[in-house]
């Protein structure tokens, strides 16, 4: 083991995890399983076509470049843009950072005001906070109790020095889909750039960057049944031409916006994943929504004091964020031994801080800590849904039986009126 390695000899290795094949996977908004058809498309680029896509002096490089060009066309077809508008990155986080920091730094002389929402993913939120430390002024648009942004608040927030807005397409925590069409029109009328984080939702929702007035769009391969380590950023070249400052140095790849050798196998996988999403989007959406609705109905009819977070209708089909009142979320997950779920975004699961998304909805801190995020996907089955529901309800009932707060609630005691004393 390497010296100073953070992993100890007792830490579980992937091969040591017991019964992983028997788990019910309900965490698709953290990452999706790579589709076998995607893997099949990638394999030749590990073993046969392993050249550098920028080595244009021999057949190995030509074959790799052809694979990248095909992927660029497949991604472009998914979002209705030109292939030359697609920039490949290492994933959604880099795509968001490149868009947010790249535009801010490129247009800083024009203005230093940026608009975003209170429920952005940390891949957008953190670089915006870094820009605040550099002197940029950020307006965070509020959301209602369903997690929706009123487009009128965007219009009201635009100033003479506003350079761009960054709006999440759909929340990976609660699934609420924003009215990007209306916001795109507002940004176009005001002459400001619109970046959309579409890392979650592009697999089941139709996104047309021209029709929606989007100037920059971030995508992540592993949220759409492709491999980890690959992503894309749509950067509009015309009407208007959008320029971004590179965040890496050391080459001239990707129109000079993203330097470094391309991850050819990953990009080929991203392209194939994009093609499958475009072709199978409608059938995936309908099947996944039916499974989600089955699960939601089972929870709300099988247990009292259960609350569904997110918009009732304008929500991703696989999203089900549920608060089980008087049950601590982490304990509930521990009681579901064979179900893989999360209590929020994978990028924030290591912290004990309440979800900023849930807090923005106005959910009380106590209820935030009772929330579980189930996210279904292409490979979810009815049998898995029923099994997950059964384990979750069993665990929740057992925990409530041990909870004095639940007992007090059942006795009709108003818990908000109690003054709690600490020794």
Q: Are 170 and 316 in contact (CB under 8 A)?
A: yes
Please list, in sequence order, all residues whose beta carbon lies within 8 angstroms of the beta carbon of residue 56, skipping any fewer than 6 positions away.
Answer: 62, 65
What tokens were used for 232?
């894309």
347 is catalytic: yes
Q: In 118-265, at which residue ranges do the beta strands (DSSP E only) sit? A: 137-141, 162-168, 193-197, 216-220, 231-235
CA distance 218 to 95: 5
CA distance 250 to 261: 10
What tokens were used for 226?
């492709």
H or E element, residue 234: strand 231-235
- CA dihedral of residues 308, 311, 316, 318 (deg, nearest 10): 10
Residue 248: how many other CB atoms lie within 10 Å: 15
What tokens were used for 241?
């031409």
Phi and psi torsions of 372, nearest 5°: -125, 135
**Terminal-residue alpha carbon distance, the chain:** 46
Residue 167, classed as helix, strand or coil, is: strand
Residue 3, classed as helix, strand or coil, is: coil
Please list, in sequence order, all residues whose beta carbon lies within 8 angstroms of the beta carbon of residue 408, skipping any fewer than 6 positions away.
Answer: 415
DSSP class of residue 253 equals T
| Catalytic residue from among 96, 199, 347, 392 | 347
Radius of gyration for the chain, computed over Cα atoms and rounded to the nearest angstrom: 23
DSSP class of residue 35 equals P
Q: Where would I find the H helices in 85-179?
A: 92-106, 122-133, 151-157
Catalytic residues: 347
């Amino acid at each position: 083991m390497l010296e100073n390695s953070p992993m100890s000899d007792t830490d579980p290795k992937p091969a040591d995890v017991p019964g992983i094949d028997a788990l019910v996977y309900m965490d698709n908004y953290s990452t999706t399983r790579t589709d076998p058809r995607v893997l099949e498309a990638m394999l030749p680029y590990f073993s046969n076509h392993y050249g550098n896509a920028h080595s244009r002096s021999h057949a190995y490089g030509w074959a790799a470049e052809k694979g990248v060009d095909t992927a660029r066309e497949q991604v472009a077809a998914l979002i209705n843009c030109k292939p030359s508008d697609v920039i490949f990155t290492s994933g959604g986080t880099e795509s968001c950072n490149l868009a947010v920091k790249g535009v801010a730094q490129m247009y800083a002389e024009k203005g230093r005001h940026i608009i975003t929402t209170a429920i952005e993913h940390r891949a957008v939120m953190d670089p915006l906070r870094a820009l605040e430390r550099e002197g940029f002024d950020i307006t965070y648009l509020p959301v209602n109790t369903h997690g929706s942004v009123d487009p009128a608040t965007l219009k009201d927030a635009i100033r003479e020095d506003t350079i761009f807005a960054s709006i999440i397409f759909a929340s990976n925590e609660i699934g609420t889909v924003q009215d990007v069409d209306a916001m795109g029109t507002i940004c176009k009328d005001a002459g400001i750039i619109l970046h959309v984080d579409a890392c979650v939702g592009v697999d089941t929702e139709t996104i047309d960057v021209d029709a929606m007035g989007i100037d920059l769009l971030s995508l992540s391969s592993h949220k759409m049944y492709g491999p980890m380590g690959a992503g894309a950023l749509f950067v509009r070249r015309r009407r208007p031409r959008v320029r971004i400052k590179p965040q890496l140095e050391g080459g001239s790849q990707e129109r000079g916006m993203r330097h470094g050798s391309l991850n050819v196998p990953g990009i080929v996988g991203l392209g194939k994943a994009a093609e499958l999403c475009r072709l199978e989007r409608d059938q995936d959406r309908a099947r996944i929504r039916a499974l989600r609705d089955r699960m939601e109905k089972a929870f709300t009819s099988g247990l009292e004091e259960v609350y569904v977070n997110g918009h009732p209708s304008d929500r991703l089909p696989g999203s089900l964020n549920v608060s089980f009142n008087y049950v601590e979320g982490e304990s509930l997950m521990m009681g579901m031994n064979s179900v893989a779920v999360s209590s929020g975004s994978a990028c924030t699961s290591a912290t004990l801080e309440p979800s900023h998304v849930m807090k923005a909805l106005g959910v009380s801190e106590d209820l935030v800590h009772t929330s579980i995020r189930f996210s279904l996907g292409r490979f979810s089955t009815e049998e898995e849904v029923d099994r997950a529901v059964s384990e979750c309800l069993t665990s929740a009932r057992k925990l409530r039986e041990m909870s004095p707060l639940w007992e007090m609630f059942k006795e009709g005691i108003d818990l908000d009126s109690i003054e709690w004393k600490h020794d």
